[in-house]
């Protein structure tokens, strides 16, 4: 075994005193060399513009169960494991839902596969947000400084973008899974990054007027920035896709990847743009069209809209003008391959609906989808969880254990016979937790009007995460806590509604709730959300999956108006929040996430589930 002191002295031969960053780097290298046995042979590829890992070093130490050994090493430098874990707390490669999805996919697939995960090493991305004078401001994170303690130099690839020759430098980071895995970050070479304005945008110029916007939409996607961002993003996409394609073909030559034993997942919107570049490199490698189509058909596309939308938005004339190299690859791909057959296959496999959305502007557009079909899932659940069944008894035990934990930790009394309805998501406007909370408040209003209402008693569990300065999330949590205090303490509704908020959300905390869940909600705004990766898990434990993706409704429902009047006027309520403050957030940009439009459909979907639950309880 290679000693830790040898590694530290080699990396820092001129230093006699060591910073926590240097110790962190040496610990990571020590574990990689002595424990992970990285073979550089992979049978799973994950491609994502961003990747949001959990604590990388922490996952290695705990996964390998070497806490005592590492703690002993750290004592020599007056450090503890907590010091090490806290140091990497802010280390994130991506902050978006795309990064979350890729992370969840890796967590699931790395249990039995060696994964190679590609991501872009952002320079002008990754904006943290902080609250400032009731608004938001942004600043670039310092995560690149942390990267240097984990990254190892990989390969360098040369190619042209907009007729400029550039070099793509790959950085590799080992990850812990049951099999050896790593992710590869691509960055433009430093001296060339200054010459070519591909990754560095004049942020202050474009954010000067929008910096105090109260809506995340206007904050992230200001109108003055869209056209310039579109060009920058096109360069970034080509740079990323070209780098990946070159890296994959190089690994094919080195026998690190075998095409007949490889699975690829692509997270993002730009299907045809990626395939065009990848196709050209596979042709150079020596594959035939039929072989390439076979590979493409096995790619899992996690995309937000119809496969042709990216080409329609980035029309060929625009691509030709901005980045001719990209244009050549795409035209070659379209002309030589029967992509109609290919994309028909992709659309069927992913059950995609045509949506009028795209890229950074996608959240502003109106789209048309269908409410998720619940009938098949409900039929399965009712059969397996009928009264007296083994599954139902096991679920009751799980719910009892959850209720005991909640009583011990939060002093909230729960009834395991009630429905356990769970919503675990990032707190964002487009995930629309507000639909669920308005639904709870609406039902509460009805119960206040008639306490004998035929209502299925329900416990609502909510949890999630958000950036510290996200203004919307702060206001949502204020509203949630005010609602929770009011409803949980109201004896007049006879415990028919209870709300539980779970702090410190993480994917690992979901495990005990999987088996106790009756209804799991996914009501995001017409986009793929990584929680869908958990759908099968929830359903297999008898949870009805409620999903809503922005159906267009002709007439705005007025039931919310009644709810707001109720919360404003009934002074007997112990409701410590001004509901009009939240209305400003919703209406400030024309109800961009269709809360008013979709509330009626949301209530109907819930009524369907509850009617089936009532029916199930009558089954003997």
Query: What are 454-507's pLDDT values in tens digits?
Result: 899 999 999 887 766 677 888 898 999 999 999 999 989 989 999 999 887 776
pLDDT at residue 17 tops 80: no
Confidence of residue 268 (pLDDT cuts 50, 70, 90): low
**Distance, CA of 445 to CA of 442 (rounded, Å):** 5
pLDDT at residue 217 tops 50: no
Rounded to 10 degrees, what is the CA torsion of 508, 514, 518, 519?
50
DSSP-derived 3-state class of residue 151 = coil
pLDDT at residue 163 tops 70: yes
CA distances from 286 to 159, 247, 255, 279, 282 (A): 19, 15, 15, 11, 6
Per-residue pLDDT, 397: 84
CA geometry: angle 398, 404, 408, nearest 5 deg: 150
**Distance, CA of 392 to CA of 250 (rounded, Å):** 53
Confidence of residue 609 (pLDDT cuts 50, 70, 90): confident
Reduce the secondary structure of 53-69 to three states and give it as a string: CCCHHHHHHHHHCCHHH
pLDDT at residue 80 tops 80: yes
**CATH topology classification for 375-550+557-615:** Rossmann fold (3.40.50)
Least confident of 107-116, 282-291, 387-396, 442-451: 387-396
pLDDT at residue 146 tops 70: no
Per-residue pLDDT, 286: 93
**Distance, CA of 229 to CA of 352 (rounded, Å):** 27
Least confident of 107-121, 256-270, 327-341, 350-364: 350-364
Going edge to edge, which strands form the sheet with 263-267? 152-161, 164-175, 181-188, 115-120, 44-48, 263-267, 299-302
From first CA to last CA, the distance across the chain in angstroms is 63
Least confident of 287-301, 330-344, 464-478, 596-610: 330-344
Least confident of 75-89, 116-130, 529-543: 529-543
Q: What is the pLDDT of residues 357-381, one digit of tens each?
A: 222 222 222 222 222 333 444 444 4
pLDDT at residue 143 tops 90: no
Q: Considering the chain, what is the average pLDDT of its residues?
A: 70
Per-residue pLDDT, 156: 93
Confidence of residue 392 (pLDDT cuts 50, 70, 90): low
Reduce the secondary structure of 373-420 to three states and give it as a string: CCHHHHHHHHHHCCCCCHHHHHHHHHHHHHHHHHHHHHCCCCCCCCEE
Domain with CATH 3.40.50.2000 in the chain: 42-53+95-364, 375-550+557-615
CB 154 within 8 A of CB 170: yes
> What is residue 120's DSSP assignment?
E
DSSP-derived 3-state class of residue 452 = coil
Per-residue pLDDT, 253: 92
Question: What average pLDDT does this structure show over 251-266?
Answer: 85
Q: What is the pTM of this model?
A: 0.55
Listed residue (429, 357, 359) closest to 589, CA to CA: 429
Query: Given CA atoms 153, 154, 160, 165 in this order, what sign does their dihedral have?
Result: positive
**Distance, CA of 251 to CA of 249 (rounded, Å):** 5
Per-residue pLDDT, 198: 46
pLDDT at residue 212 tops 80: no
Length of the chain: 620
Listed residue (331, 337, 360, 336) closest to 236, CA to CA: 360
Per-residue pLDDT, 142: 42
Question: What average pLDDT does this structure show over 322-342?
Answer: 74
**What is the homologous superfamily of the domain 42-53+95-364 according to CATH?**
Glycogen Phosphorylase B; (3.40.50.2000)
Listed residue (269, 240, 582) closest to 432, CA to CA: 582
Question: What average pLDDT does this structure show over 247-269?
Answer: 84
DSSP-derived 3-state class of residue 242 = helix
Per-residue pLDDT, 209: 41
DSSP-derived 3-state class of residue 159 = strand
CB 546 within 8 A of CB 374: yes
Confidence of residue 313 (pLDDT cuts 50, 70, 90): low
Radius of gyration of the chain (CA): 26
Packed helices 226-253 and 271-285: angle between N→C axes, nearest 10 degrees: 30
Helix (H) or strand (E) holding 433: helix 433-449
Per-residue pLDDT, 433: 87
Confidence of residue 199 (pLDDT cuts 50, 70, 90): very low
Per-residue pLDDT, 176: 77
């Amino acid at each position: 075994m290679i000693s830790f002191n040898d590694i530290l002295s080699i990396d820092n031969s001129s230093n006699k005193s060591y910073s926590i960053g240097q110790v962190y780097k040496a610990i990571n290298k020590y574990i990689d060399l002595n424990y992970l046995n990285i073979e550089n042979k992979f049978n799973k590829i994950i491609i994502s513009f961003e990747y949001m890992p959990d604590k990388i070093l922490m996952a290695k130490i705990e996964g390998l169960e070497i806490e005592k050994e590492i703690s002993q090493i750290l004592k020599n430098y007056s450090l503890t494991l907590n010091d090490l874990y806290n140091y990497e707390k802010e280390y994130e490669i991506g902050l978006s839902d795309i990064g979350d999805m890729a992370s969840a996919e890796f967590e699931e697939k790395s249990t039995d596969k060696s994964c190679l995960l590609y991501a872009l090493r952002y320079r002008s991305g990754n904006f943290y947000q902080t609250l400032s004078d009731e608004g938001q401001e942004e600043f670039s994170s310092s995560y690149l400084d942390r990267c240097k303690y984990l990254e190892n130099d990989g390969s360098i690839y040369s190619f042209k973008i907009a007729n400029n020759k550039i070099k793509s430098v790959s950085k590799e980071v080992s990850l812990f899974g049951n099999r050896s895995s790593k992710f590869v970050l691509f960055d433009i070479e430093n001296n060339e990054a200054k010459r070519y304005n591909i990754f560095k945008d004049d942020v202050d110029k474009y954010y000067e007027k929008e910096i105090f916007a109260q809506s995340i939409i206007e904050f992230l996607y200001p109108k003055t920035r869209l056209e310039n961002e579109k060009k920058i993003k096109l360069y970034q996409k080509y740079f990323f896709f070209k780098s990946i394609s070159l890296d994959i073909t190089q690994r094919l030559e080195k026998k690190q990847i075998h095409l007949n034993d490889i699975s690829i997942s692509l997270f993002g919107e730009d299907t045809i743009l990626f395939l065009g570049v990848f196709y050209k490199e596979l042709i150079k490698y020596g594959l035939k069209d039929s072989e390439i189509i076979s590979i493409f058909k096995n790619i899992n596309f996690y995309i937000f809209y119809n496969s042709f939308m990216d080409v329609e938005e980035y029309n060929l004339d625009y691509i030709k003008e901005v980045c001719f190299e990209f244009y050549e690859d795409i035209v070659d791909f379209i002309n030589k391959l029967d992509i109609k057959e290919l994309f028909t296959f992709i659309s069927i496999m992913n059950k995609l609906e045509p949506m009028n959305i795209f890229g950074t502007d996608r959240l502003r557009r109106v789209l048309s989808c269908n409410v998720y079909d619940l009938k098949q899932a409900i039929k399965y659940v009712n059969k397996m969880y009928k009264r007296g069944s083994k599954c139902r008894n096991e679920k009751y035990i799980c719910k009892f254990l959850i209720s005991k934990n909640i009583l011990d930790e939060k002093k909230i009394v729960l009834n395991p016979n009630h429905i356990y309805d769970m919503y675990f998501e990032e707190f964002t406007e487009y995930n629309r937790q507000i639909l669920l909370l308005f639904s709870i408040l609406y039902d509460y209003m009805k119960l206040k009007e008639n306490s004998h209402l035929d209502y299925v008693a329900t416990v609502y569990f909510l949890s999630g995460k958000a950036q510290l300065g996200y203004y919307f999330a702060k206001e949502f949590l204020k509203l949630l806590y005010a609602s929770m205090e009011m409803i949980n303490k109201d004896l007049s509704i006879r415990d028919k509604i209870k709300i539980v908020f779970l702090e410190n959300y993480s994917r690992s905390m979901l495990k005990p709730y999987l088996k106790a869940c009756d209804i799991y909600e996914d009501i995001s705004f017409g986009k793929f959300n990584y929680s869908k990766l958990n759908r099968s898990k929830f359903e297999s434990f008898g949870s009805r999956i409620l999903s809503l993706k922005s159906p267009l409704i002709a007439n705005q429902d007025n039931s919310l108006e009644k709810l707001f009047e109720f919360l404003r006027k009934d002074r007997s309520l112990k409701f410590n929040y001004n509901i009009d403050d939240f209305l400003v957030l919703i209406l400030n940009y024309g109800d961009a996430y269709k809360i008013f439009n979709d509330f009626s459909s949301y209530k109907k979907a819930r009524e369907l589930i509850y009617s089936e639950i009532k029916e199930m309880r009558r089954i003997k």
